[in-house]
Structure 1
Amino acid sequence: MISIEGLSKIFTSNKKQITAVDDLTLAIKEGGIFGVIGYSGAGKSTFVRLLNRLEEPSSGRVIIDDQDITAMNSNQLRLARQEIGMIFQHFNLLWSRTVKDNIAFPLEIAGVPKAERERRVRELIDLVGLSERENAYPSQLSGGQKQRVGIARALANNPKVLLCDEATSALDPETTNAILDLLVDINKKLGLTIILITHEMHVIRKICRQVAVMENGKIVEQGDVLDVFLRPKQQVTKKFVEQVMGTQDENEGIQDLINAYDHGKIVRLHFIGETANQALISQVAKKYKVDINVLQGKITQTQAGAYGTLFVQIEGETEEMDKAIGFITKTSVEVEVIRDVN
């Protein structure tokens, strides 16, 4: 468990105080992938750097594995950081060193014997899929390969926590997906806790089970990813959900569809998890004397399951339509009748 209590960071610039992180309190479960999302200036990068004291907090505590990181002296902190790996947006590799030498660097600093270093580097090169590039220099690598080196280096000392600060922001979409798949694989194989900082909701959707939304240095919303997708409360969260669900365009276009029908009920269905994969529409059509016309819909996958919205027109006798809607409701699908033109 990572416990963050009343964490704040105040910078002074031109005799003015700027609060980058504002009295932030958060609990992160051990062994999961936790996402922190926010727009530029929200304070998320400062927040993640406070976790390993690359930035010194103005107040508050960070407790990782029952150790108060914020109370440590420099020697204690140096040892504690060996259990907190970090990867960066722009890789931060040593350009004069090869892939294997970059990965070995933190082991050298930690005083690990040469034979053990070489064994560990070989394990990590295989883990991140760079077995044929170990003697290459960073200038000879693609962006995705550089980030794989960064990940391997961050894992060198067998950390319990991996901090990822915009780790995919400099990568193209295909490479981003490959790096995210690698992080999921590492999480499963090694069981370490990953805290992922991003401004892209599709990154959260793909690999995180829990998410916290930052705005103006504060956590304004948090919870399971599926819950946040289904019921975003804050305006900033709704904007992020629109990135991957296209709900703004959906809402603008659906009204034209609705207006084209002058009979039956127009219903919006929200479904998550297993219900997203069930043949629900065909079940209802077989069970009740109704006709169902799918107007528009979209499903997206998250790490915890599918989430989707479906607009349908239901036609039939009023009693049969009500029975059909009642049946759908009992399946845990959320039902909203948005137009009744009987």
Structure 2
Amino acid sequence: MISIKQLSKSFKTKDQTVQAVDNVSLNIEKGDIFGVIGYSGAGKSTFVRLINRLEDPTDGEIILNGQDMTDLSKSQLRLERQKIGMIFQHFNLLWSRTVYENVAFPLEIAGVPKAERESQVLELIELVGLKGREQSYPSQLSGGQKQRVGIARSLANDPKVLLCDEATSALDPETTDDILDLLVSINEKLDLTIILITHEMHVIQKICHRVAVMEQGTVVEQGDVLDVFMNPQSKTTKRFVQQLNPQEGSVDELKEFITSDDHSEVVKLHFVGHNAKRALISDVSKQFDINVNILQGSISPTQEGAYGTLYVEFQGEPETIESVMNYVMSTGVEVEVIKHVE
């Protein structure tokens, strides 16, 4: 487990002191893919650079691999950093070196014998899907291939933790998904703990188990991805969740789709996990004397299961509507009454 306690970082400028990270505390379990999301200036990139001491913290503790990273000497820190891989938004490859030579570079620095180095490098290149491109130079690769080289290089010293600082921000959507799939595969094959910094909620949704939301240097919300998506508490989190369902309108925007002049209820149904696959509306229509007007809906997959929302109008007698909502709740689907329509 990685334990981060009351971590802070301030920068002094000529005119003021900037608090980039402010009293952040997080626990990250071994083998997790942990996302840290925030808008530009939230402090997330500074935060990730504190973990491997590319930046020195002003205060706090970083317990990693049983060591407090803030207490290490320079020589001890060099050794501990070998257990932490890092990939970057703009790849940071050596442009005068081939794919093979880029991946081999950390092993050269670590003094790994040439024969052993060769087998490790070829294995890593195959792991990231670049077999056959060993002698290519970065200028001959696509953006996604360059990031695969960066990932292979970051794994060269067999790290226990992989830090990803906006690793997909420079990539198109299809290539982003390919890189995220690769990270999930590596996480499973190597039991590697991944800390992923991003400003894209799609990235969190697709591969993360847990997430922390940062704003102005602080963590304003954290928890399991599914819980945070279903019940966002902070204003910032709600804005990020809205990115995934931009079509989700307000009640006023839904009014034009409400058809009944009789008594009815407009409700929002929350589906989680296996409930997202239920034929619930069909069941309701068969079992109750009621009309169901589907107003709007969406479903999104996450690493912890699918979740979805569905806005519906139930049209019928009040007693029947009440029975329907009790039935829906009994199936494990959360019901939120949006508006009584008279």
Query: What is the TM-score normalised by the length of structure 2?
Result: 0.97
Q: CA deviation at 1:183?
A: 0.3
Give 3-state SS (helix, strand or coil) of 1:262's partner: coil
Q: Which residue of 1 aligns with 2:339?
A: 339
Q: What do the CA deviations read for 1:85-110 (whole angstroms, capped 9, x no partner)? A: 00000000001100010000001111
CA contact 2:248–2:297 (8 Å) conserved in 1: no
State the distance in 2 between where 1:245 and 1:210 align.
Answer: 20
Q: Over the residues paired in the alignment, what is the CA RMSD in angstroms?
A: 1.3
Aligned to 1:145: 145
**Deviations 1:275-318 (CA, angstroms, capped at 9, x unpaired):** 11111111122222222221211111111111111111222332
- What secondary structure sits across from 1:121 in the alignment? helix
Residue in 2 that maps onto 1:262: 261
How many angstroms apart in 2 are the aligned matches of 1:247 and 1:23? 36
The alignment partner of 1:184 has SS state of helix
Give the structure 1 partner of residue 22 of structure 2.
22
User: Partner residue of 1:76?
Assistant: 76
Name the counterpart of 2:64.
64
**Distance (whole Å) between structure 2 residues aligned to residue 340 and residue 252 of structure 1:** 13
Report the counterpart of residue 315 of structure 2 in structure 1: 315
Question: Structure 2: which amino acid aligns with 1:166?
Answer: E
Matched residue SS, 1:302: coil
Q: CA offset at residue 251 of structure 1?
A: 5.1
Give the counterpart letter for 1:91 in structure 2.
F
Separation in structure 2 between the aligned mates of residue 306 and residue 190 of structure 1, nearest angstrom: 25
Q: Which amino acid aligns with 1:68?
A: D
**Correspondences of 1:26-65 after superposition (within 5 Å):** 26-65=26-65
Shift of 1:42: 0.4
Task: Find the counterpart in structure 2 of residue 225 from structure 1.
Answer: 225
CA distance in 1, matches of 2:225, 2:61: 26
Q: Is the 8 A contact 2:205 2:302 kept in 1?
A: yes
Structure 1's 65 and 213: CA in aligned 2 closer, same or farther, altered over 3 A? same
Indicate the percent of aligned positions where both proteins have the same amino acid.
Answer: 63
Residue number in structure 2 paired with 1:243: 243
Amino acid at match of 1:207: I
- Cα distance in 2 for residues equivalent to 1:53 and 1:225: 27
Name the counterpart of 2:272. Answer: 272
Partner Cα separation in structure 1 for residue 290 and residue 60 of structure 2: 60
Report the AA paired with residue 321 of structure 2: M
Question: Where in structure 2 are there 5+ consecutive unaligned residues?
Answer: none
Take 1:126 and 1:83, find their aligned partners in 2: how far apart are those partners? 21
Aligned to 1:170: 170
In the superposition, relative to structure 1, how do residues 252 and 127 fare at CA in structure 2: closer, same or farther (>3 Å)? farther
Q: Distance in 1 between matches of 2:83 and 2:247?
A: 41
TM-score (norm 1): 0.97
Q: CA deviation at 1:247?
A: 5.7
Alignment check: 8 A CA contact 2:248 2:296 kept = no
Report the number of matched residues: 341
SS of the residue corresponding to residue 298 of structure 1 reads strand
Unaligned runs of 5+ in 1: none
**After the TM superposition, which segments of 4 or more aligned residues of structure 1 sit over 6 Å from their partners?**
none
**1:321 Cα deviation after fit:** 1.8
TM-aligned CA distance change 1:62 to 1:33, over 3 Å: same
**3-state SS of 1:338 partner:** strand
Cα distance between partner residues in 2 of 1:163 and 1:78: 16
What SS does the corresponding residue of 1:308 show, helix, strand or coil? strand
Q: Distance in 2 between matches of 1:275 and 1:132?
A: 45
Q: Distance in 2 between matches of 1:282 and 1:107?
A: 60
Counterparts in 2 of 1:286 and 1:249: CA distance versus 1, 3 Å: closer
- The alignment partner of 1:305 has SS state of coil
Deviation (angstroms), 1:249: 4.0
Offset at residue 250 of structure 1 (A) = 5.5
Q: In the TM superposition, what is the alpha-carbon distance from 1:176 to its structure 2 partner?
A: 0.4
Displacement of 1:341: 3.6
Structure 2 counterpart of 1:261, one-letter code: S
- Cα separation, partners in 2 of 1:120 and 1:326, compared to 1, 3 Å: same
Deviations 1:189-227 (A, max 9, x none): 111100000001010001011100000100000011111
Whole-angstrom distance in 2 between the partners of 1:11 and 1:247:
40
* Partner SS for 2:202: helix
Counterpart position of 2:210: 210
The one-letter amino acid of 2:302's match is T
Q: Alignment partner of 1:25: what SS?
A: strand
Q: Note the alpha carbon deviations across 1:57-107, whole angstroms, 9 max, x for none.
A: 111110012111110001111110111000000000001100010000001
Secondary structure of the 2:92 match is: coil
